[in-house]
Amino acid sequence: MTEVVEVFVPGHVTGLFSVHRADDPARTGSRGAGLTLSDGVTVRLEPADDRSVELDGRATSVDPVDHVLDTLGVDAHVAADSDLPVGSGFGVSGAMALGTAYAANTAFGCGRSDNALVRVAHEAEVSSGTGLGDVVAQARGGAPIRLEPGAPPHGRLDGIPETDRVEYLTFGGLSTEEVITGSTDVLSAAGEKALDRLVERPTLPRFVDASRQFAREADLLTPDVERVLDDVEGASMAMLGETVFALGTSLSEAGYDVETCEIHPAGATFR
């Protein structure tokens, strides 16, 4: 059991969502839609007697990762390298949880299925208060639509059958935990409305448009984000971070200094 396993998990920006809570973490989650990104997190796991977690070379503690290792009953050294900023709405914690689940399953021969690993990672995120919908999206790839909340077999996914270049820029972090554990009635009503609009015609332009409307109605815009959204028609906000994303070249053409990637065609993949 000294095998080192490496798994890449795409980043994920949610554009619109509603919150759905249940007693069971596997049934808790969000409905909504987002984009998985070719920028993501590479998780490198090695069985070890003492558990340790690193992110971009620094020792750290990540609740969902511990939760996954506890559930699988294993200890390991987990080193994650992220293309994306942490706490800015890119699903880095979900990627670490899912990558750890996949890598540990292989390294320790746990013999779980894809759905079982997604469920372990989703429950870890929900229990830690760090996310509601990233894991199921990151396990799927593409432009996932979360029709029903929760992990397999409860959640139900669809997707937008298109791809594009994605541009993004980040002003800083927002606490997912603060927003999703507070009152979410207004947010969820806006999210349900936006999802209905998207499902009616699941295209990327409609996704961006529904996301913009959602961000305004859910009252989540920060001054920096609002300024860019006022300036660039095709831009929207990543939930939950002080991050703006857009398709194609909308942001760079408007003069913003952006990072660039693509919609990722696959979910978690072994490296």
Contact pick of 105, 128, 188, 211 for a copy of itself (by CB under 8 A):
105
Q: What does R_g of the chain's alpha carbons equal in angstroms?
A: 17
- Of 31, 33, 38, nearest in space to 95 by CA: 38
Taking the least distance from each CB to a copy of itself, the nearer of 116 and 254 is 116
In whole angstroms, how close is the CB of 215 to a copy of itself at the nearest point? 22
For residues 99 and 97, give the distance between their C-alpha atoms in angstroms, rounded to a whole number: 6
Per CB under 8 A, 4 contacts a copy of itself: no
For residues 110 and 92, give the distance between their C-alpha atoms in angstroms, rounded to a whole number: 24
Per CB under 8 A, 270 contacts a copy of itself: yes
In the window 199-238, what residues touch a copy of itself (CB under 8 A)?
A: 199, 201-203
DSSP-assigned beta bridge partners for residue 244: 169, 237
Dihedral of the alpha carbons of 180, 181, 184, 190, in degrees to the nearest 10:
0
Given the rule CB under 8 A, which of 41-49, 137-145, 177-185, 239-247 is the region that contacts a copy of itself?
137-145
Residues 6+ apart with CB under 8 A from 155: 29, 122, 136, 146, 148, 149
Per CB under 8 A, 106 contacts a copy of itself: yes
Residue 264 has phi, psi (to 5 degrees) of: -90, 130
Per CB under 8 A, 35 contacts a copy of itself: no
Per CB under 8 A, 34 contacts a copy of itself: no
Per CB under 8 A, 153 contacts a copy of itself: yes
Per CB under 8 A, 129 contacts a copy of itself: no
Taking the least distance from each CB to a copy of itself, the nearer of 33 and 225 is 33
Per CB under 8 A, 57 contacts a copy of itself: no
Give Cα 152 distance to the centre of its chain: 16
Maximal C-alpha separation, the chain: 54
Given the rule CB under 8 A, which of 70-78, 102-110, 179-187, 225-233 is the region that contacts a copy of itself?
102-110
Per CB under 8 A, 142 contacts a copy of itself: yes
Residue 108 has phi, psi (to 5 degrees) of: -105, 0
In the window 175-204, what residues touch a copy of itself (CB under 8 A)?
A: 199, 201-203
Applying CB under 8 A, which residues contact a copy of itself? 102, 105-106, 109, 111-117, 141-142, 145, 152-153, 156, 158-163, 199, 201-203, 265-270
